[in-house]
Each structure stands twice: as C-alpha cells, then as structure tokens.
Amino acid sequence: MKVLIEMGKRHGRKKILLITATLMCFMLFAGIYQTNRIAAARENTTYEQLKLFGSVLDLVQRQYVEEVEPQKLIQGAVEGMLKSLDPHSSFMKPDDYKELKIETKGSFSGIGIEISIRDGILTVVSPIEGTPAYKAGLKAKDRIIKIGNKSTKNMTLIEAVKLLRGPKGTDVTISIFREGWTKLKDITITRDVIPIRSVRSRVLDHSYGYIRISNFQSETTSSMKNALKKLEKKGALEGLVLDLRNNPGGLLDQAVKVADEFLDKGLIVYTDGRIPEQQMRFEAHPNGQPNDYPIVILVNEGSASASEIVAGALQDHKRAMILGTQTFGKGSVQTIIPLENGAAVRLTTARYFTPSGRSIQAKGIEPDIVVPFIEVSEAKKPEKEDVFHFLKEKDLEGHLPGEHEEKEPESSADKSVSELKSTGKAEEEEQPMDNQIKEALQILKAWQFFSEAAD
C-alpha cells in the first residue's frame, strides 16, 4: 500500500513538472511569436511607407512639368528626412563634408558667424570674435532675411554657409532684421580668412591669469596648455578666469581634455544613446603638475555644447565657480557618419550628462553667481546699460526636449541701428576688462584673501 502511495506521489510530481515545462514552453513560444509579430508589423509599416515613397517618386518622374534627375529627388528626400528630426541632424554632400573637415583642422574664408534656424528663419547665434561679421556689428538674434539676392526662407544651414563663405577680399551683402527695427538693413561685409585660433590669454592684475576659449578645435587643448605655461612663467598664478562666453562648442574630445587639465580624478561627462557604442564615459586622469589655483568660469547664453561640458564638469566637482548667465542648453551629441560616395550624415545619436547626472538639453548650465553682461556704448550716456540676450537651444524648432524644460519670457533688449559699426578691436588682449571679468577677478582676490586668513 505504501509503495502504491509513493508511486502515486512520484507520478503526481512528474505530472506537475510536465505541466510546468509545457506552460513555460508555451509562454516562450508565445513571447517569440509576439516579438516576431511586432517586428513583422514594423516591417510592414516600413514597407508601406517605402511603397508610398516609391509611388511619389514615380509620380514626380512621370508627371512633373520638367524632367528631374532621380539623384536630385532622392537626395532631397534624405535631406528632408534628417531635417525633420532636429535642428542639428543633416545630410552633407561630398563638398560639404570636406568643408567641415577643413573647419575643424585649418582655416576658411568667410564672414565669421555661428548661425542656426529659428522659426524657419536663418538666425545669428553669435558672431565669432575678431571676424568681419564681428567688426560689422552683427549681434545674436539678428535674422538674416537675404544673402545677396537670395531669400533665406526654407534655406538649409549648409546652403547658407556656402553663400556666406567665399574667397578672401570678396564682398557679400546680407539683409538683416533686428527686433525693434521697422525695416530691413543691408550690410555689405568683406570676406576674410577666419583663423582657427581658439585660445587667447593675458595676465590680469599681476598674478591672475585669463584664458579665453572661443571654440573647441583640434588644437585647442595644446594651445591652452601653452597659454597656461606662459602665464605661469610670469609668476605663480593665484587664480584663473576661464572665459567660455559665446563659445558655440566644437569637438567633444577637446572639451574632455580641457576639463581633464583641471581635474585629477572623477567623471567628466557621460553620454547615453540607444546603442552601446553611444553610451560612453570619460574620466579624468592625474596631472603631473596639478593646477590647484581657484578658477572662475565665465559663461553666457552663447556658451553651448562642448563649453557646457567643461563648465558642468568643473562645477559638479566644485573645482570652479561659474559666473555669468544661463547657457544655451545644447546637450546632444552629433556623430558624423561617412557614406560611400564621399557624403556624410550628421546625426544626433545621444544626450550627454554632467558627472552628477544633469541633462543640459534645452536647459543649460545655471551659474553659481548670476552677473549679466553690461555694455556701455560710447554713443549713449554711461548710465544707460544694455544686456545681451541670445538664441537658446530650446528656441530651435524641433529640438530634443529637455527633462525640465521651462518657458522663458522673450526680451526686447536689442541694440539700435546706429550701433552697426566695427568695434575696431579684434584681439582679446587689446580690449579692456568688461564687468563680468572684473567681477570674476574680485571673486578670485577675495578667494585668495579668505584662504590666507584661514591658514
């Protein structure tokens, strides 16, 4: 009897195990079936859309008023596809790709402005210091309505760049509109070689250094190290002002190396994308000769991308104090992907985050001390002060949304028509200290004073 009961128990356990195994297999096959079904549905959707594209392509080729080359149609479709993603993704023809490589390694001839698209209109983000555009008085938020006789409506950034660039000594006329004006103003600018000199330096008040980085190019880090050595040769640095105002960004690796120069350990920046290759972490390395002096970093609404990486990293590590106004807020990573025919795709592939996990996209870096830039025009009385306001990432149509995006009020603090003239001073070394540099210097002096008092 006991034997029969034991056999019955064993038979029951086997039956339960068999049922469990059967259910697991069913669930596994059901999961596979569901996954395949979803994949098949996506494939069908993609196939249907490709059928639509093919139908329109065939329709245009057969019935359009003039015969059009298939290459032109397909290229236009690719450009439109990338343009629909965000303002920073684009298709680059072979010539455009070559120009991009030249821009990051050498020099080019043009007028020297950083541009973007805002509300479908070509808009100045920032003029590059010392260039013809800077001397002509172009300002951030100026809207370029025409280049020569061509309207910029629906014009791509690459098309605009091609029209603005040209041989040294040649002229280009642009029609701009500025908030507060009642009509367009034509400005004729003579093109010049735009040097890739991203670093300038000088001594402030004996033992305090000043380094200005205007963009991040292939030689930026080495140039900055040389500038630091020259400053240190003139005496022991008691503090450094690192000026990243109006710096639109540039190469990610250069931003990492610049931040690494002032950090001995810890995370500098990390990126997060859909594929493993876009999930990267960049760490600081010990420096042979630590730069332990206090640092104040100057930023404003024209500081974007790579400059925000540097400011964010040093701010998170409590290595520098950030002074100025909130930055542009471009926290996305663009990857240049070469194609077989010499063209390339500039594609937004990831977002970057500061060491503490802050996303800068459409938000920017908030300064530790808010100090607006004040320009006293010679044409005005000293008591009348102007504050620059800049175009931001979140103003760009189709931008990637930020985690804590906030709407900011529009400002009408723009310059008058009479101020469209050359400053006459292109080199940073020749210019007097502005109010933000003066404020940074005072902070460094107070920093030194309290450090000595604590000792």
Choosing from 170, 193, 216, the residue where a domain stops is: 193
Q: Are residues 75 and 209 in the same domain?
A: no
DSSP symbols for 161-224: HHHH--STT-EEEEEEE-TT-SS-EEEEEE-EEE----EEEEEETTTEEEEEE--B-TTHHHHH
Based on the residue annotation, tell me whether 225 is a catalytic residue of this protein. Answer: no
Q: Are residues 229 and 124 in the same domain?
A: no
Give the pLDDT of residue 197. 79
List Cβ neighbours of 382 (8 Å cut-off, separation of 6 or more). Answer: 376
Give the pLDDT of residue 159. 85
Give the pLDDT of residue 369. 97
Give the pLDDT of residue 413. 35
Report yes or no on 233 lying in a domain.
yes
Number of structural domains, the chain? 3
| Choice among 86, 96, 243, 316 that is catalytic | 316
The domain that contains 111 carries what CATH number? 2.30.42.10
Q: Are residues 234 and 358 in the same domain?
A: yes
Query: Which residues of the chain have a pLDDT value below 50?
Result: 1-5, 7, 9, 23, 26, 28, 33, 378-390, 407-430
Q: Are residues 135 and 229 in the same domain?
A: no
Based on the residue annotation, tell me whether 89 is a catalytic residue of this protein. Answer: no
Report yes or no on 124 lying in a domain.
yes
Q: Are residues 215 and 187 in the same domain?
A: no
Q: Are residues 201 and 179 in the same domain?
A: no
Quickly tell me which residue has 């009897």 as its tokens: 1
Q: Are residues 229 and 359 in the same domain?
A: yes
* d(C-alpha 194, C-alpha 183), whole Å: 30
Q: How distant is the alpha carbon of residue 208 from its chain centre?
A: 29
Report yes or no on 29 lying in a domain.
no
Report yes or no on 5 lying in a domain.
no
Based on the residue annotation, tell me whether 316 is a catalytic residue of this protein. Answer: yes
Report yes or no on 10 lying in a domain.
no
Q: Contact, 100 vs 343, CB < 8 A? A: no
The domain that contains 200 carries what CATH number? 3.90.226.10
Q: For the chain, give percent helix, strand, coil, nearest 5.
A: 35, 25, 40
Domain carrying residue 261: 196-412+434-454
Determine the 3-state secondary structure of 416 from DSSP: coil
Single out the residue of 127, 249, 214 nearest to residue 176, CA to CA: 127
Residue 108 has a CB neighbour count (10 Å cut-off) of 17
| Choice among 146, 330, 394, 415 that is catalytic | 330
Q: Are residues 161 and 303 in the same domain?
A: no
pLDDT tens digits, one per residue of 153-175: 888 887 898 899 989 999 999 99
Q: Are residues 210 and 187 in the same domain?
A: no
Q: Are residues 117 and 237 in the same domain?
A: no
Report yes or no on 14 lying in a domain.
no
Q: Contact, 116 vs 90, CB < 8 A? A: no
Choosing from 169, 193, 217, the residue where a domain stops is: 193
Give the pLDDT of residue 322. 98
Give the pLDDT of residue 263. 96
pTM of the predicted model as reported, rounded to 2 decimal places? 0.73
Q: Are residues 168 and 111 in the same domain?
A: yes
Q: Are residues 268 and 386 in the same domain?
A: yes
| Choice among 126, 305, 332, 359 that is catalytic | 305
Report yes or no on 91 lying in a domain.
no
Structure tokens at 1: 């009897």
Report yes or no on 237 lying in a domain.
yes
